Amino acid sequence: MFESLSDKLEHALKKLSGQAKINEINIGMAMRDIKRALLDADVNYKVTKNFVEQVRKQALGEEVIKSVSPAQMIVKIVHDELVKAMGGEQKDINLKTSRMPAVIMVAGLQGSGKTTFTAKLANLLKKKGRAPLLIAADVYRPAAIEQLKTLGAQIGVPVFSIEEKDALKAAKQGIEFAKQNSKNVAIVDTAGRLQIDEEMMAEAERLKRELSPEEILFVVDSMIGQEAVNTAKVFNDRLDFDGVVLTKMDGDTRGGAALSIKTVVDKPIKFLSQGEKVDDLDIFYPERMAQRILGM
């Protein structure tokens, strides 16, 4: 569907096939195409600018100048830089605790896929031999508890909820319930919130303070645009989360947010949510993501 970046660059650099070497001018043209490709993929404007500057420096280095196929060489630099920027080693969620239960909290914007993800994660952990409990701490969204209960029933994982509209109380009582019922991991589903909603962000901080979760995961829709950066930054400033979950990856988004978020908060992307069914959960591979962003 997308003209791949390497095709574009090939095209941009065609004009220099007569010339022996790459110079500042045609590198400049290639960089414009790279910038465009990244922005089309929703990589944040500032992140794109810095990224392209990095690539430009490298592209002007010896290797590329001497190379016979400069376009491919540049694509390789872009690709490798992308993988580097998003990568680091694959990190698993941290459940190594003597505490019973280990607590995982999810947070994010409205509709990003938190509730669905908690069920997927519970399903995965259950398959790995854990005894999970889902805790309904979204006390605002209409039928949020019903939704979690339905999902819990689908995977055979119990769901804890209370009548009272108090997220903290629900979470604390849920953890107590887990203890008494030998559940060794408690996954807390929270309400969607905007990062500029002070009251709701304060609630999230309170949940963190009182529950001391082993793991806080920031759930973000992979179709998100330029605001991915601000959003992730504020959530991270307030919660210092441990990892990122990219959802709705079964769509056709290029998913540039992955690069933006990784760049600004430097937290690992731990899971990809790829569908509406409880099994549609995957781990993250920087390599694949780089190719997706480039439209390769």
Ligand X SMILES: Nc1nc2c(ncn2[C@@H]2O[C@H](COP(=O)(O)OP(=O)(O)OP(=O)(O)O)[C@@H](O)[C@H]2O)c(=O)[nH]1
**45/69 Cα distance (integer angstroms):** 29
**87/266 Cα distance (integer angstroms):** 10
169 near other proteins, judged by CB under 8 A? no
16 near other proteins, judged by CB under 8 A? no
The one of ligand X, Mg ion, other proteins, none whose footprint includes residue 273, by CB under 5 to 8 A per kind, is: ligand X
Contact residue for ligand X among 53, 164, 240, 276 (CB under 6 A)? 276
For 210, which DSSP code? H
Nearer to other proteins, 154 or 182 (CB): 154
Q: Which long-range contacts (CB under 8 A, 24 or more apart) does 6-14 make?
A: 6/71, 6/72, 6/75, 6/294, 6/296, 8/33, 8/37, 9/33, 9/34, 9/71, 9/74, 9/75, 10/71, 10/72, 12/71, 13/70, 13/71, 13/74
Contact residue for ligand X among 81, 227, 250, 282 (CB under 6 A)? 250
Contact residue for other proteins among 164, 176, 251, 279 (CB under 8 A)? 251
Rg (the chain; Cα; Å): 22
Nearer to other proteins, 16 or 265 (CB): 265
Q: 122-161 mask for other proteins (x: CB under 8 A)?
A: ------------------xxxx--xxxxxx--x-------
Which uninterrupted H or E stretch holds 202?
helix 198-211
The two beta strands, 243-247 and 159-160, are unpaired
**208/61 Cα distance (integer angstroms):** 47
* Burial environment of residue 25 by CB neighbours within 10 A (0 to 12, 13 to 18, 19 or more): exposed
Contact residue for Mg ion among 44, 48, 112, 115 (CB under 5 A)? 115
Q: 122-151 mask for ligand X (x: CB under 6 A)?
A: ----------------x--x--x-------
224 near other proteins, judged by CB under 8 A? yes
Q: 265-284 mask for other proteins (x: CB under 8 A)?
A: -----------x--------
Chain contacts with Mg ion (rule: CB under 5 A):
114-115
Which spans of this chain sit near ligand X (rule: CB under 6 A)?
A: 108, 110-116, 138, 141, 144, 191-192, 194, 247-248, 250, 273-276, 280
